[in-house]
Amino acid sequence: MFSECVEETSEIVEAFNRSNRSLSRSDVTVIMMARLITTLSRVRDLEKILRYLGSEREMGVVVERVWKQQSPREILVEERQMRLF
């Protein structure tokens, strides 16, 4: 379950990077927490939910790794402008 959230977070960060946007650690943390909460909302075991939400150290390591792996793509000037044809 946690690895699913990490993968989804990486995909979202990569999508921002493809738009030439680099995210802060806080941005990555918010995305990670949102994915984790969304995933955990399907779980009915309260202790399991609290265990995942309480794993701040592990989450911090993952956020740091995803944040460092960013590589925003340079967008050409032509791609930034709207085209009619």
Tell me the per-residue pLDDT of 11-59, one tens digit each, with 9 for 90 and over: 999 999 888 888 999 999 999 989 988 888 888 888 877 777 777 678 8
Instruction: Give Cα 70 distance to the centre of its chain.
Output: 11
Asked whether residue 51 is domain-assigned, the answer is yes
Which residues form the domain of 14? 2-80
CA distance 23 to 33: 15
Asked whether residue 9 is domain-assigned, the answer is yes
Asked whether residue 38 is domain-assigned, the answer is yes
Asked whether residue 37 is domain-assigned, the answer is yes
Residue 28 tokens read as 């990555």
The structural domain count of the chain equals 1
Asked whether residue 85 is domain-assigned, the answer is no
Note whether 62 and 7 are within 8 A (CB).
no
Note whether 6 and 58 are within 8 A (CB).
no
What pLDDT, on the 0 to 100 scale, is given for residue 79?
Answer: 56
